[in-house]
């Protein structure tokens, strides 16, 4: 048995044994373990209302806490929310969720909370030690620009986004044609997640204009083009981490990441690709980025049937494998955006249907249960299974579920 297949089989069997269950498993990498509801249906307005009401109920006590620590997530059976400091890559998600709840409720109390949490996270914009400033600053600040009635505060959010863009741009490597994600196995590396941070450079560059703005836009676009050229395999699946030789810019190979194997298709990474490339295409009109978004989306649709939630890695085909519902929430955002970009109406309808039926599942009681003592919203997410082999709720899945539901509402007849 090839090494990759053996590792995938062992990971799947370990998950089953941990659950006290043993089922016959296939070693084929052509299928993905998915969980599907009995009835597949698009999300409804009633479901959207229920999920937003549940989010407000669960997040209000979290929002009252000190804003020196930011909600991160909770293991499935936990009643306590783990938190992170300002420099944690997830610090911007809870502030973003407060903006989405404010928009849905139009409640001034949520406006106050959204402003307070966003103000708390903005100082990290000047930190050059991370590539995640699109998540940390760009996401909540952009919602603030869109939703805050105060012109002064909207200006503050734009300034923070510009600072974050320049901090991110400082990590640029011209040989590779990308900004650095981190060091992996001692090598200069990129990760697929960075597709979600590059749009911050494009957006701010376009708004700033001039030579300074043009450079930011060019770097953000080139970063996405580099990812599209190096991370997408011939079948449309994606790597999670790749290392590069910074003296030549040459790709040196994949390194272990959050997938089951360096060569496997980590589910959340695939969804980052769909959404990140779609955002890049929407902002620039670049046809290579549009093709990258479609290629990665088509691979997702080939592995995840409509309305179904995948295992944490799309190469895991063992029944009972851990899920990653956050991957479905992120993919739904990307598919909804992609449906507005493609000129192929059959593809557009396929993307839209897949997104709406996925949201119909995620907005059901099984995945966003009203009675769960877990402090998070979207259940059965995973973070990094090779290190933490359990499900839970996490801030990014909650935010992207609310964002996708916001986008879906006008599409429901």
Which two tokens mark 280? 């890049």
CATH 2.60.40.10 for domain 3-411, yes or no, is no
pLDDT higher than 70, residue 25: no
User: For 83-95, what is each residue's pLDDT tens digit?
Assistant: 999 999 999 999 9
Q: Specify the pLDDT at position 16.
A: 33
Which two tokens mark 357? 């039926």
- pLDDT class of 119 with cuts at 50, 70, 90: very high
| Residues in CB range of 402: below 8 A, 6 or more apart | 51, 52, 55, 97, 100, 101, 104, 377
Across the range 301-320, mean pLDDT stands at: 96
* In contact, 137 and 122? CB cutoff 8 Å: yes
pLDDT higher than 50, residue 127: yes
Q: Round the average pLDDT of the chain to a whole number and report it.
A: 93
Question: d(Cα 211, Cα 335) in Å, to the nearest integer?
Answer: 33
DSSP state of 289: H
| Residues in CB range of 229: below 8 A, 6 or more apart | none
- pLDDT class of 30 with cuts at 50, 70, 90: low
* In contact, 72 and 56? CB cutoff 8 Å: no
Which two tokens mark 82? 């783990």
pLDDT higher than 50, residue 1: no
* In contact, 231 and 192? CB cutoff 8 Å: yes
Q: Specify the pLDDT at position 156.
A: 98
Question: d(Cα 254, Cα 170) in Å, to the nearest integer?
Answer: 24
Q: At what angle are helices 395-408 and 45-63 packed, to 10 degrees?
A: 140
Domain ranges of the chain: 3-411
* In contact, 62 and 94? CB cutoff 8 Å: yes
Other beta carbons within 10 Å of 227: 28
pLDDT higher than 60, residue 10: no
């Amino acid at each position: 048995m090839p090494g990759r297949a053996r590792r995938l089989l062992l990971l799947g069997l370990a998950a089953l044994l941990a659950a006290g269950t043993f089922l016959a498993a296939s070693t084929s990498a052509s299928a993905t373990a998915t969980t599907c509801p009995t009835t597949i249906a698009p999300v409804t307005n009633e479901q959207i209302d229920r999920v937003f009401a549940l989010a407000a109920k669960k997040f209000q006590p979290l929002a009252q806490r000190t804003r020196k620590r930011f909600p991160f997530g909770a293991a499935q059976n936990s009643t306590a929310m783990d938190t992170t400091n300002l420099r944690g890559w997830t610090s911007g998600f809870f502030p973003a969720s407060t903006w989405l709840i404010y928009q849905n409720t139009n409640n001034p109390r949520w406006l106050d909370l959204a402003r307070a949490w966003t103000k708390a996270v903005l100082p990290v914009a000047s930190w050059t030690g991370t590539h995640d400033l699109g998540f940390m600053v760009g996401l909540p600040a952009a919602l603030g620009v869109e939703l805050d009635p105060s012109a002064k505060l909207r200006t503050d959010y734009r300034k923070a986004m510009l600072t974050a863009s320049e901090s991110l741009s400082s990590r640029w490597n011209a040989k590779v044609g990308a900004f650095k994600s981190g060091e992996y196995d001692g090598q200069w590396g990129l990760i697929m997640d960075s597709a979600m941070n590059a749009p911050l450079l494009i957006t701010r560059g376009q708004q700033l204009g001039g030579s300074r703005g043009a450079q930011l836009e060019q770097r953000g676009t080139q970063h996405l083009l580099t990812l599209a050229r190096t991370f997408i395999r011939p079948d449309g699946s994606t790597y999670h981490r790749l290392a590069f030789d910074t003296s030549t810019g040459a790709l040196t190979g994949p390194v272990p990441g959050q997938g089951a194997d360096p060569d496997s298709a980590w589910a959340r990474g695939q969804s980052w690709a769909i959404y990140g490339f779609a955002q890049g295409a929407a902002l620039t009109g670049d046809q290579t980025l549009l093709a990258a978004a479609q290629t990665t989306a088509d691979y997702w649709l080939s592995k995840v049937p409509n309305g179904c939630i995948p295992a944490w890695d799309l190469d895991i085909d063992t029944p009972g494998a851990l899920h990653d519902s956050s991957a479905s929430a992120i993919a739904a955002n990307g598919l909804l955006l992609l449906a507005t970009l493609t000129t192929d109406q059959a593809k557009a309808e396929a993307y839209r249907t897949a997104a709406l039926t996925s949201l119909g599942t995620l907005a059901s009681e099984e995945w966003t249960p009203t009675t769960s003592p877990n402090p998070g919203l979207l259940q059965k997410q995973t973070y990094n299974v090779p290190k933490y082999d359990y499900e839970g709720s996490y801030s990014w899945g909650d935010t992207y579920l609310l964002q996708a539901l916001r986008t879906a509402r006008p599409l429901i007849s």
